[in-house]
Amino acid sequence: MKNIYSKNSITISSPAKNIWLVIYDVNSYSKWWPSSIKIKVIQKNDKLSGSEIEIRPYGGVPFFCTFMEKELENKLLMKYKGIYSGNGEWSLSESNNHTEVTYEINLNINNEFIKVLSIFFPIDRIHHRLMNKVLINLKKRVYDIKTAIPDL
């Protein structure tokens, strides 16, 4: 396998604007991403576009994500580089104060060691399980903030 494709979704009982607030706050990612993933902010821009984070899986090689422009009110594009290259996309679809949050990636594996590992290990399924944890933690984070700031 030389590619990783994954699409994960969760429904959160909250308006999309509250969820975007959490996704846009890259400085707080370590509060809701699994502890097995270390997040380091490399660059943070006020409008998020151009901001970059380093993602280091436990025991793994780091890679980088750059936040690209937000499309309309429901999509945010990500660009991956390093051991992986390709695109990711956050998309939110709101209906009756419930929001379906989806994260989809389509990546090439650039690292030869990981390419070999992918022959024996289902890298895309591992990523899929990890992103399910990220989305569950995102949901908890949105609820925690809503509890702390009821007018949100």
**Residue 68's domain is classified under what CATH number?**
3.30.530.20
pLDDT higher than threshold 80 for residue 1: no
Give the containing element (helix H, strand E) for 20. Answer: helix 16-24
Q: Is residue 93 part of a domain?
A: yes
Whole-prediction pTM value?
0.88
Q: Is residue 152 part of a domain?
A: no
Q: Is residue 59 part of a domain?
A: yes
Give the total residue count for the chain. Answer: 152
Q: Is residue 131 part of a domain?
A: yes
The residues near 117 (Cβ < 8 Å, ≥ 6 apart) are 123
Q: Determine the pLDDT at residue 5.
A: 92
The rounded distance, in Å, linking the Cα atoms of 52 and 146 is 26
List, for residues 56-113, the tens digit of each pLDDT value. Answer: 988 788 999 999 977 667 899 999 999 999 999 999 999 998 999 999 999 999 989 8
> Which structural domain range is residue 105 located in?
3-146
**In the chain, how many domains are there?**
1
Mean pLDDT confidence for 5-30: 93
- Cα→Cα distances 64→15, 119, 134, 146, Å: 29, 23, 17, 30
